[in-house]
């Protein structure tokens, strides 16, 4: 009988059900030869680190797990994990985002030559150098991080994003929006530069004479305050906002909308390297979706065939895509279906499992026992 291997699944992010971690765990769980040992927090506050560390210690006490996966935003738990499991254990680090890149290059919170920026860069570079294996979600991300942190590109394995297909599917019950406008454009998420949510304000102003409604969910803090304040100054009545939607209700919003904005819409460097997680959810639901034309999406998506393409950071381009969708609603079902087929071919759970299996199989068995 084949001895089962153990993998420590480490997560200390304040949103433990984040889609990247959820789909990776689903893919790993499909392996009959793998026992997943969860060291996952349940609290969003500081005690999540204590919870995660206690679970790591409990796993070490139960068995000699020697392979560990550090999930989304795991930079803050990496060194405690390394100290606890030692050098004989192998650590996989999922580098989906970079704190240094986000704070310095994207949000411009800190100047590149500031002491804090230099410290964060050094910490992150040491993590990527120390980890035994690195994963990320696109070839563009892998090349960028390898160059930025001076680590070998061969150390990265690209494992694409996916969607929780038990929730996000064409069979989700559509929501009936309580708006007078018959055509609803839906999106959700944070207001970080990658997402480019602010771009929807000039877009909404350009399209204010059409009978359509923008429905935006999510966002917090000063970024959201700025968005809502600008909306008020512009006197826009065709763009609505709700601070929160229960995750389990998201599919009904997606299926009920006439068009979804997957983006990325931001004009940042990061936007050129990715396809967003929400875009994959929209495609999985077989909903017509506006996709940002990026290095990651170019070649996979064709305008008005399997999506509506728009240039990130270009309000005119986004407005044109939405206007075309409104005036050609009869063509949207075919576009949505083609988008679903593209998702199935490149981003589905089946594809994710295949990539994860190949990656795990590439790790010598004596390092996984």
Question: So what's the pLDDT on residue 1?
Answer: 47
Per the structure block, which two tokens stand in for 165?
């297909």
Question: So what's the pLDDT on residue 366?
Answer: 66
**Residue pLDDT, tens place only, 261-310:** 998 998 878 888 889 999 999 999 999 999 999 999 999 999 999 999 99
- What is the rounded (10 degree) CA torsion for 337, 338, 339, 344? 90
Question: So what's the pLDDT on residue 318?
Answer: 96
Q: Pick from 100, 71, 89: which is nearest to 13 by CA?
A: 71
Domains in the chain: ranges and CATH: 5-162+348-367 (3.40.50.2000), 183-346 (3.40.50.2000)
CA R_g for the chain: 21
Cross-sheet strand order for the sheet of 34-40:
34-40, 5-11, 67-70, 90-94, 133-136, 156-158
Which pTM does this prediction carry?
A: 0.93
Assess contact for 19 and 13: CB atoms under 8 A.
no
**Residue pLDDT, tens place only, 203-237:** 999 999 999 999 999 988 888 888 999 999 999 99
Beta bridge partners of 156: 134
Instruction: Report, as ranges of residue numbers, the positions in the chain whose pLDDT lies below 50.
Output: 1, 368-369
Question: So what's the pLDDT on residue 2?
Answer: 59
Residues 332 and 351: their CA atoms lie apart, in Å, by 26
Distances (CA, A) of 26 to 115, 163, 260, 282, 350: 40, 10, 26, 19, 11
């Amino acid at each position: 009988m084949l001895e089962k291997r153990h993998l420590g699944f480490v997560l200390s992010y304040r949103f433990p059900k984040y889609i990247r971690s959820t789909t990776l765990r689903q893919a790993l769980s499909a392996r009959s030869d793998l026992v997943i040992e969860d060291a996952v927090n349940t609290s969003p506050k500081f005690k999540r680190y204590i919870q995660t560390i206690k679970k790591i210690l409990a796993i070490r006490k139960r068995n000699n797990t020697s392979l560990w996966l550090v999930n989304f935003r795991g930079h803050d738990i990496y060194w405690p994990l390394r100290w606890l499991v030692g050098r004989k254990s192998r650590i996989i680090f999922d580098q989906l985002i970079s704190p240094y890149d986000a704070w310095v290059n994207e949000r411009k919170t800190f100047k590149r030559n500031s002491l804090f920026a230099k410290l964060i860069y050094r910490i992150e570079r040491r993590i990527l150098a120390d980890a035994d294996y690195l994963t990320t979600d696109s070839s563009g991300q892998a090349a960028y991080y390898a160059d930025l942190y001076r680590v070998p590109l061969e150390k990265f394995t690209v494992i694409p994003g996916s969607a929780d297909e038990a929730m996000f599917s064409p069979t989700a019950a559509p929501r009936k929006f309580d708006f007078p406008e018959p055509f609803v454009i839906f999106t959700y998420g944070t207001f970080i530069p990658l997402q480019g949510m602010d771009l929807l304000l000039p877009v909404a102003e350009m399209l204010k004479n059409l009978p359509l409604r923008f429905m935006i969910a999510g966002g917090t803090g000063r970024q959201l305050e700025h968005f809502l304040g600008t909306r008020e100054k512009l006197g826009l009545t065709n763009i609505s906002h709700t601070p929160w939607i229960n995750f389990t209700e998201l599919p009904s919003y997606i299926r009920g909308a006439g068009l979804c904005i997957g983006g990325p819409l931001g004009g940042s460097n990061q936007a050129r390297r990715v396809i967003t997680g929400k875009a994959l959810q929209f495609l999985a639901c077989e909903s017509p979706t506006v996709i940002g034309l990026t290095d990651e999406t170019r070649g996979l998506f064709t305008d008005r065939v399997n999506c509506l393409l728009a240039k990130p950071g270009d309000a005119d381009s986004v407005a044109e895509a939405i206007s075309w969708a409104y005036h050609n609603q009869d063509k949207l079902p075919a576009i949505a279906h083609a988008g679903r087929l593209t998702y199935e071919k490149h981003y589905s759970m089946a594809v994710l499992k295949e990539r994860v299996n190949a990656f795990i199989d590439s790790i010598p068995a004596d390092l996984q026992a």
